Amino acid sequence: MFFSKKEVLDIEKYKKIYEKYYEKLLNKLDDPVYFQNIEFELLPPLFFIFKSTLQLAVKNKKIKDKDREKIIYSISHLIITKYLSNKKELDLFLQRVDLYVEVISGLPLRNESAFSKPVPKEDRNLQVDTWTILSDILINPKCADDYVNAEKALVGSTETVRYLKARLSVLGDFFDLVEEIYNA
């Protein structure tokens, strides 16, 4: 009689993916003049991408929902213990994650890094929307508190070019991250 090996969920693999992309993106966006508070601001979008991609993996029957929950718990624990230092930061992190959920769920993108041109509907997806929200927050921190009503930031052409270059670089990483999570 043959016994099938029960697959064991390798949660450490997912934590390593999170840390790898956090460090990779932190290195790419390490410019305190243009990317203020980047150490914190990278945490929510990466977590949001993890949650969204794992939900898709459950929907497509690549993983079980109980495994998704274990992975999300593990990533949450990693963020809380390694990257956040107090309850205030945790509360802010949770507010930011909620902001990503709200915007992806239907709020229009501000897209402050592209002279406020809207992102065409056919170009919107998890990775583009997540980067756009992150760059909006980096360009105009006020929109983190009120994404819809915050005044537009006055961004010069030099800053816009810098954000657009970062967008091209980081977007590729966001696509790679989704693929790596989905296929882990």
The whole-angstrom separation of Cα 138 and Cα 162 is 12
pTM (2 d.p.) = 0.88
DSSP state of 60: T
Query: In 10 A of CB 67, how many CB atoms?
Result: 17
All structural domains of the chain with their residue ranges: 11-183
Angle at 72 between CA 66 and CA 75, to 5 degrees: 145
Question: Residue 95 in contact with residue 146, Cβ under 8 Å?
Answer: no
pLDDT for position 2? 41
**pLDDT, block means (10 residues), the chain with 184 residues:** 58 97 91 78 97 96 95 97 96 96 86 65 82 86 89 71 73 93 94
Question: Residue 29 in contact with residue 37, Cβ under 8 Å?
Answer: no
pLDDT for position 170? 85
Backbone angles phi, psi at 118, to 5 degrees: -70, 150
